[in-house]
Structure 1
Amino acid sequence: MGDIYILMLVALTALAVIDLVVGVSNDAVNFLNSALGSKAVSPKTLMIIASLGIFFGAVFSSGMMEVARKGIFIPGEFYFNEIMIIFMAVMVTDVILLDLFNSLGMPTSTTVSIVFELLGAAVAMALVKIGANSEQTISDLGIYINSESALLIISGILLSVVIAFSIGAIVQYISRLLFSFHYEKRMKHFGAIFGGVALTAITYFIFMKGLKGTPFYGNVENILKGNEVYIMAGSFVFWALVSQIYTSLFKKNILVLIIIIGTFGLALAFAGNDLVNFIGVPMAALHSYDAWAASGVPATEFSMGVLAKKVPTESTLLFIAGAIMVVTLWFSKKAKSVTETEIGLARQGDGHEKFKPNYVSRFIVRGTVNLSKVLGYVLPASFIEKIDQQFLKPVIELPKDKSYEVPAFDMIRASVNLMVAGILISIATSFKLPLSTTYVTFMVAMGTSLADRAWDRESAVYRVAGVVNVILGWFSTALIAFTAAALFAYLMYLGGAPIIALLLCLVIFLLIKSYLNHSKKLKEKKETQRLKRAEIVTINEVIEDSSGHISEVIKRVDKLYTNVVTDLSRHDLNKLSKTDKHVKKLKNEVNDLKSNIFYFIKSLDESLVKASRFYLSVLDYLQDITQSIEFISTTSFNHVNNNHKNLKKSQIKDLVEINNKLQETFQLIITGFENRDFTNFVSILEDKQQLLNHVSDSIDTQISRIRTEETSPKNTTLYFGILLETKDLIEATMSLIQLFQEFESSEA
């Protein structure tokens, strides 16, 4: 019987390694984004600094994995076999959940996920035990569960969201009033004080949060406790002197040093304290197994009160864990997706917005705009004007091929992010409040963004929607973690080894599928022919790039139209649904190109006004084409989804003939654009009327059918809709060809 538990330990070890990878991929956002967004140091230097912080934090991490061992449930109330089921359910859920959030590019809390997974699995096993005991009821759940910890975590979520956002906004607003966006001159006078405050906060954070519980902390605990005020005062004097020397003598920017040390501190704290989220459960399982194996008592009778004792984690395992975390940081593509989300929401400039506005974001933005109008009437105009002067952003002139190097925000904001996050997490640690590192760092970044006026009227509704989505994701983390872990634990209890094996296969399948989907998205992102605005400076480049867009759209429309006709003839709802999704995706891509026309025009030289007008017309026709194919696809899907009658064979035959002729025309167009050979466009335009006549003939034929044999009004509506939109599709395509031919020939 012991063999099954050895296999479970092996599985838990493998899950721990995977959990380290997916966990670091999500939590990298906590310590990387301030430095990445401000571009204070090169990405390579930043990765080295963060790697050192992670490695030292992991190697010298606390060995007391209290949360996993006894923080959520009462271990003495469970037997060994039950504890192993709880641990397996937790790790299976954690890997799936964190990888899901990574794939979505959404930051979430590894602390909250592990706590609620432990809670869910423990509650499930407790209910099983209560159900088997005739003397107990659900009111006895408190015997098994440490409900106080769960309530603290929930309160921590609410506190971290509100407090971190508010404090971040206030500190950033004051900092901007003091330094403005033109802070270089003022930093010469006040840089030492700012550096002293920021570095004191960060170093205090490193000692109180980053090193708490490490082997070294015991040596300095007596010095730190009770002397916090003196230590901070001394640190301020020391760091203020260092800042002054660093600025005056070495002529360096103290903000860079603040960002470097702050990044190191957050990385150190993350690895030192959050390591329990990844290897705490497997380590607790190993200690449980050792205790059970030495006892000689059956697994179903061995009480796990031993977990209430403190057991240090082996240094070798910490070293291996640290190495895995560092390697993940360097090579994880999903970590980049998560960091892009926060930087995108916090960036000072405008650009492509990832999130769509919703009712909540519109309500908040509208309320804020109205409030600002009220304040505008109440406060003196001179006072408002003076404040506005402090928020005037510098105009950064860069060559067009270097525009991507503009930081998402400046180093003042990056320093405030790190300083405030460090202070809040330190305070929470000293009061033993379970504030999440993810929640604090994210909400501080959002608060500083708001205070810095990064969310203007052009972007606020999208940014607020993004923040709302992330916050809802945090609460869903707790709910999903609890529910999934409870379900998995109950299934494992009922099914034993076969169910455990099945769930492990499910984990492998989901991870592989997630990896392939993410790789596909990255590939599509690279292959999506977006306009490289910074590189387009001549008419020929405009023509070249426009050709690529047209070729791509026509190629996909050709395939989608064929799919609709084929799937409609077979009344295949599933395939029509998939086609409709692809159509909407194409439409969104074209709409996205059109929404970015402002940046395209701005990137061109003043002499290329004609090129701007041409490109705008190209996008307009492409939008018409995608709208036509969307109507054809959606109406066909709805027709089949509503279980209406199939189209008649004669109708399908007409559509197939039209599709065949369209395919021939589309292929000629695609070949012309791909080879940049437009000589055959004349013949295509000459055949335009013939193609339109064929569609018109089909319409006339259907009118005749209605008078003689047609009995289905729904079929008629669908068929006429497809034919009329096909005419619009042909017209838009031919107009596009004609526009392109005329423009290309005029510039030849």
Structure 2
Amino acid sequence: TPEIQEYIQSNTLTFLGICFLASTAVMQILYCLKVNVFKILVLMGTFALAMAFAGNDLVNFIGVPLAGYSSYTDYVSSGATDPSTFMMSSLDGPAKSPLIFLVAAGAIMVFSLATSKKARNVIKTSVDLSRQSEGDEMFGSSKIARVLVRFSNNTANFFQDVVPDGVKAWCEKRFNTDEAKLPEGAAFDEVRATVNLVVAGLLIALGTSLKLPLSTTYVTFMVAMGSSLADRAWGRESAVYRVTGVVSVIGGWFITAGAAFILCFLIAMLMHIGGFVAACIMMALAIFLLIRSNIRYKKKAEEENGDVTFNQMMLSTDKGEILTLLSKHISDSQADFLEYVNTTFRQITDGFIKEDLGMLHRAEDTMRRKRDELKNCRRKEMIGFRRIDPEVAMEKNTWFHLGRNSCEEILYCLRRIADPCEEHVDNNFEPLSQEQIKEYIPLRDTVLFLLRRTEKILQTDSYDEVDEVRREAEELKDCLEKAREAQMKRMQSTKENITVAYLYLNLLQETRELTSSLRHLLRASKGFRE
């Protein structure tokens, strides 16, 4: 009633003081009884945030359809005959929503949030970006993030020079995490969880009471980012990736707002001009986009959940088990990389020989993505190295980096082959002669055979075959060197096309370098396992 509302408003500070004192007393009693107070605070904070969400998002969810329903009932009850002249003056007053509509809308929202994988993915993004420990980063590195992190480091260094040592020592004690033990699978401790839930709920409730147009997801996300930054969850090893994620999310919201504004204008204009036909086309297009979006999301989710070994490695606390999982991750990732090299090397050489520019373009595109994958794999495995015994890590560190460097060198060989071949075919230059093709194809097929054998060794741990494959690779290097010398003699004795001659010479040289890097990879893999 208005009287009760007025009484509450006039005694707000009194009510808050009583609630504060009562809560303090109850929590102190629970603490004396050895009850984990933070679990209760997290539970209550969850309810508070849920209520804040309901007060904002529930209205946004049902506001438009209820306004339409109210307009329809007003039009019918008025007895008007021309809807184009009927004024919506009844919507000027406060909305009176039927209780059944509110309950039904709330039930739909709860069901959707509980079953929607995309909703869980939104939460996963917030949790991963605010995670206390190291792990797989969802975002890469961007220019703006590197600039912001560098500026922050320079600013921190300046203040570190002027702040007294005693103050710095006191601050360091506040961030001592040696005795902090997170539950298995937890991204951060209960203190930060309580802060996130309570502060986000308060801000959303305050904004809703002031009738401010706010995004509950945005507020909750930024609260989580602020608390993780204040809790030193963003170390120098992860700060660039976390800042990139925050900037991407914020930028995505601004871009979405602009895109929604423009698309609504275009769709309204098309439906006004095209009428019913345009509306049907728009509905069909919307259905198509929804289906395609779900298909792409499923593929992306499968890729993200595919690295089971790394996830197990991050959850494990046994150093021996972590070493086993790390070795498996390295072998599997290198085997997958060699499978890619086999396919791409064949694609590049076939595209060059057959003058298929599209095949060469596709190979170029995949190599850019594969370079980022190699960097991500190395970073993940370095995180694994930090979790095993330091002496074992020092022993295996050299072999690990030799193997990873060999993979990167193989990829660079592919790029050094593909770039001039793509330019050559794109410019419609003279193709390889039949003599050169007959000479190179057997050498190329031998490389593909060695790649398959190496991949099998890594998949099955058959390291007793390493010496034999390395010997065969050395013999192939000799054959490639002889083919290279023969090509140089042809260039001196015949008047063949100089452009294609030099390109073929480069092809032989880079194939030889690829074979040499493959031998290094085999040696490193065997050394790592021993």
TM-score, normalization by structure 2: 0.85
User: What residue identity is the alignment partner of 2:58?
Assistant: L
Unaligned 5+ segments in structure 1 are 1-216, 398-402
Q: How does 1:722-733 map to 2 (within 5 A)?
A: 722-733=507-518
Partner Cα distance (1:396, 1:595) in 2: 25
1:492 — aligned with what?
271
2:213 equivalent to 1:434: yes
Q: Is the 8 A contact 1:529 1:549 kept in 2?
A: no
User: What residue identity is the alignment partner of 1:584?
Assistant: R
2:9 — aligned with what?
225
Partner Cα distance (1:575, 1:307) in 2: 61
User: What residue identity is the alignment partner of 2:45?
Assistant: G
1:689 — aligned with what?
474
Equivalent of 1:477 in 256, 260, 276: 256
1:21 — aligned with what?
none
Equivalent of 2:299 in 520, 524, 528: 520
| 1:352–1:524 distance in 2 versus 1, CA, 3 Å | closer
Q: Is the 8 A contact 2:360 2:418 kept in 1?
A: yes
Secondary structure of the structure 1 residue equivalent to 2:386: helix
User: What residue identity is the alignment partner of 1:734?
Assistant: R
Q: Is the 8 A contact 1:421 1:444 kept in 2?
A: yes
Q: How does 1:333-732 map to 2 (within 5 A)?
A: 333-396=117-180, 405=184, 407-528=186-307, 531=310, 532-533=312-313, 534=316, 537=320, 544-605=328-389, 608-609=392-393, 610-637=395-422, 643-645=427-429, 647-648=431-432, 650=434, 656-678=441-463, 680-700=465-485, 702-703=487-488, 708-711=494-497, 713=499, 715=500, 719-732=504-517
| 1:720–1:674 distance in 2 versus 1, CA, 3 Å | same
Q: In the TM superposition, what is the alpha-carbon distance from 1:293 to its structure 2 partner?
A: 6.4
Q: In the TM superposition, what is the alpha-carbon distance from 1:306 to its structure 2 partner?
A: 5.0
Partner Cα distance (1:684, 1:394) in 2: 48
Partner Cα distance (2:283, 2:437) in 1: 48
Partner Cα distance (1:634, 1:689) in 2: 26
Q: In the TM superposition, what is the alpha-carbon distance from 1:649 to its structure 2 partner?
A: 5.3
- Aligned pair count? 521
Q: Is the 8 A contact 1:558 1:663 kept in 2?
A: yes
Partner Cα distance (2:163, 2:287) in 1: 61
User: What residue identity is the alignment partner of 2:47?
Assistant: F
Q: Is the 8 A contact 2:196 2:227 kept in 1?
A: yes
Q: Is the 8 A contact 1:391 1:452 kept in 2?
A: yes
| 1:292–1:421 distance in 2 versus 1, CA, 3 Å | same
Partner Cα distance (1:716, 1:290) in 2: 83
| 1:315–1:658 distance in 2 versus 1, CA, 3 Å | farther
1:192 — aligned with what?
none
> Cα deviation per residue 1:259-291 (whole Å; 9 max; x = unaligned)?
111111112221332124334333434444555
Q: Is the 8 A contact 2:56 2:216 kept in 1?
A: no
Q: Is the 8 A contact 2:126 2:221 kept in 1?
A: yes
User: What residue identity is the alignment partner of 1:469?
Assistant: S
| 1:324–1:572 distance in 2 versus 1, CA, 3 Å | farther
Unaligned 5+ segments in structure 2 are none
Q: In the TM superposition, what is the alpha-carbon distance from 1:242 to its structure 2 partner?
A: 2.0
Partner Cα distance (2:324, 2:27) in 1: 52
1:183 — aligned with what?
none
Q: In the TM superposition, what is the alpha-carbon distance from 1:354 to its structure 2 partner?
A: 2.9
2:26 equivalent to 1:242: yes
| 1:440–1:648 distance in 2 versus 1, CA, 3 Å | same
Partner Cα distance (2:25, 2:324) in 1: 58
| 1:663–1:354 distance in 2 versus 1, CA, 3 Å | same
| 1:265–1:577 distance in 2 versus 1, CA, 3 Å | farther
Higher relative contact order (CA 8 A, sep 6+): 1
Q: In the TM superposition, what is the alpha-carbon distance from 1:733 to its structure 2 partner?
A: 1.3
Partner Cα distance (2:357, 2:74) in 1: 57
Q: In the TM superposition, what is the alpha-carbon distance from 1:662 to its structure 2 partner?
A: 2.5
Q: Is the 8 A contact 1:597 1:616 kept in 2?
A: no
2:47 equivalent to 1:264: yes
Partner Cα distance (2:308, 2:510) in 1: 26
Q: In the TM superposition, what is the alpha-carbon distance from 1:697 to its structure 2 partner?
A: 4.9
Secondary structure of the structure 1 residue equivalent to 2:178: coil
Q: Is the 8 A contact 2:130 2:224 kept in 1?
A: yes
Partner Cα distance (2:278, 2:487) in 1: 58
| 1:323–1:698 distance in 2 versus 1, CA, 3 Å | farther
Q: How does 1:126-165 map to 2 (within 5 A)?
A: none
| 1:423–1:646 distance in 2 versus 1, CA, 3 Å | farther
> Which range is displaced more, 308-317 or 437-446?
308-317
1:76 — aligned with what?
none
> Cα deviation per residue 1:421-469 (whole Å; 9 max; x = unaligned)?
2333343344333343233222222222222222333333332232222
Secondary structure of the structure 2 residue equivalent to 1:537: helix
Q: Is the 8 A contact 1:569 1:646 kept in 2?
A: no
| 1:218–1:675 distance in 2 versus 1, CA, 3 Å | farther
Q: How does 1:168-247 map to 2 (within 5 A)?
A: 221-247=5-31
Partner Cα distance (1:678, 1:350) in 2: 32
Secondary structure of the structure 2 residue equivalent to 1:603: coil
| 1:309–1:343 distance in 2 versus 1, CA, 3 Å | same
Q: Is the 8 A contact 1:584 1:630 kept in 2?
A: no
> Cα deviation per residue 1:224-268 (whole Å; 9 max; x = unaligned)?
3343222212221222222222222x4212222221111111122
Partner Cα distance (2:46, 2:80) in 1: 49
| 1:312–1:712 distance in 2 versus 1, CA, 3 Å | farther
Output the aligned Cα RMSD.
3.4
Partner Cα distance (1:706, 1:390) in 2: 73
Q: Is the 8 A contact 1:547 1:674 kept in 2?
A: yes
User: What residue identity is the alignment partner of 2:412?
Assistant: Q
Q: In the TM superposition, what is the alpha-carbon distance from 1:558 to its structure 2 partner?
A: 0.8
Q: How does 1:95-110 map to 2 (within 5 A)?
A: none
User: What residue identity is the alignment partner of 1:527?
Assistant: G
Secondary structure of the structure 2 residue equivalent to 1:514: helix
Q: Is the 8 A contact 2:367 2:411 kept in 1?
A: yes
Q: How does 1:23-172 map to 2 (within 5 A)?
A: none
Q: Is the 8 A contact 1:529 1:548 kept in 2?
A: no
Partner Cα distance (2:102, 2:418) in 1: 55
> Which range is displaced more, 385-394 or 562-571?
562-571
1:324 — aligned with what?
108
TM-score, normalization by structure 1: 0.62
| 1:712–1:222 distance in 2 versus 1, CA, 3 Å | farther
Q: Identity of paired residues, percent?
A: 31
Q: In the TM superposition, what is the alpha-carbon distance from 1:492 to its structure 2 partner?
A: 1.8
Partner Cα distance (1:409, 1:236) in 2: 26
| 1:670–1:363 distance in 2 versus 1, CA, 3 Å | closer
